[in-house]
C-alpha cells in the first residue's frame, strides 16, 4: 500500500475547498470539471481505465443549485453490500427538499471516521447518466460544497459518477430508494463512454 490514495483524497478535498471559496457558481463548476479531469487523467489511483474517455457534462443550470436546511426524517439504517468492503453501514440523519424535484435522504457513514453521504439516482440514470446513480456529497472523500450550520449546498451540476462507473474493481454504495428522483436531472457528469 502506498500513500497515493491519501494524495487522491487530499487533492479532492483541496479541489472542493477551492470550489467553496469561488464566489461564482459557474466559475466554481468550471474549476471542478478541470480538477476532476486532471485527477482522472493523471493520478495513479484514478478509476479511469487506460484509454478511457474523460467524463462529459451537461450544461450548467443555475436553477439546480440550492442551499437547503436539513429536515427531520425518521431514523433508518442502510446496509450497503459491496463486493470489496463487505457491508457498509449508513444512518439517515435527515433529508433535503429540492424545490419541484423531490426529497433526498441525507446519510451518515458509520465506518472509518464517518461522513455525510448523498447519492442520487434520477430519470436519466441508465440513459444519459450512470445507471447506478451519481454522488452529490461524500465528505469522507472530500466532496462537500458547504452550507450553513443547519444545511447543505446541493448543486446538481456537481453530480459525479462513482468510481465503479469507470471500473468494476471499485465498490460503490448506490442510491437507495430515498435518494431517487423521478424527474430527469440533466446536470452534472454524464455516463462514461
Answer yes or no: is 124 within a domain. yes
Write the pLDDT tens digit of every residue in 142-183.
Answer: 999 999 889 999 999 999 999 999 988 888 888 999 999 999
Write the pLDDT tens digit of every residue in 68-100.
Answer: 999 999 999 999 877 677 788 999 999 999 999
Provide the pLDDT for residue 106: 98
Answer yes or no: is 10 within a domain. no
Provide the pLDDT for residue 102: 97
Band of pLDDT at residue 17, cut at 50, 70 and 90: very high
Answer yes or no: is 75 within a domain. yes
Q: How many other CB atoms sit within 10 Å of the CB of residue 180?
A: 17
Answer yes or no: is 173 within a domain. yes
**Domain assignment of residue 64, given as a range:** 57-179
Provide the pLDDT for residue 80: 87
Q: Mention every residue, 6+ apart, whose C-beta is less than 8 A from residue 154.
A: 65, 66, 67, 68, 96, 98, 104, 118, 136, 137, 145
Q: How many structural domains is the chain composed of?
A: 1
User: pTM of the full predicted structure?
Assistant: 0.95
Answer yes or no: is 161 within a domain. yes
Answer yes or no: is 40 within a domain. no
- Tell whether the model's pLDDT for residue 1 goes beyond 80: no
Band of pLDDT at residue 51, cut at 50, 70 and 90: confident
Answer yes or no: is 116 within a domain. yes
DSSP string of 135-149?
A: EEEEGGGTB-----T
Answer yes or no: is 17 within a domain. no
Amino acid at each position: 500500500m502506498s500513500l497515493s490514495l491519501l494524495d487522491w483524497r487530499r487533492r479532492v478535498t483541496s479541489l472542493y475547498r477551492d470550489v467553496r471559496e469561488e464566489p461564482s457558481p459557474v466559475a466554481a463548476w468550471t474549476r471542478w470539471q478541470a480538477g476532476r479531469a486532471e485527477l482522472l487523467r493523471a493520478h495513479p489511483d484514478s478509476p479511469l481505465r487506460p484509454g478511457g474517455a474523460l467524463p462529459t457534462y451537461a450544461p450548467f443550470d443555475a436553477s439546480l443549485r440550492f442551499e437547503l436546511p436539513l429536515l427531520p426524517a425518521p431514523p433508518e439504517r442502510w446496509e450497503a453490500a459491496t463486493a470489496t468492503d463487505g457491508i457498509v453501514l449508513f444512518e439517515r440523519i435527515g433529508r433535503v427538499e429540492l424545490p419541484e424535484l423531490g426529497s433526498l435522504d441525507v446519510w451518515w457513514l458509520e465506518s472509518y471516521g464517518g461522513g455525510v453521504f448523498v447519492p442520487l439516482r434520477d430519470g436519466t440514470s441508465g440513459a444519459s447518466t450512470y445507471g447506478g446513480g451519481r454522488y452529490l456529497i461524500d465528505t469522507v472523500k472530500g466532496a462537500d460544497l458547504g452550507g450553513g450550520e443547519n444545511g447543505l449546498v446541493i448543486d446538481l451540476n456537481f453530480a459525479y459518477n462513482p468510481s465503479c462507473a469507470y471500473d468494476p474493481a471499485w465498490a460503490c454504495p448506490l442510491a437507495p430508494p430515498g435518494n431517487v428522483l423521478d424527474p430527469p436531472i440533466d446536470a452534472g457528469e454524464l455516463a462514461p463512454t
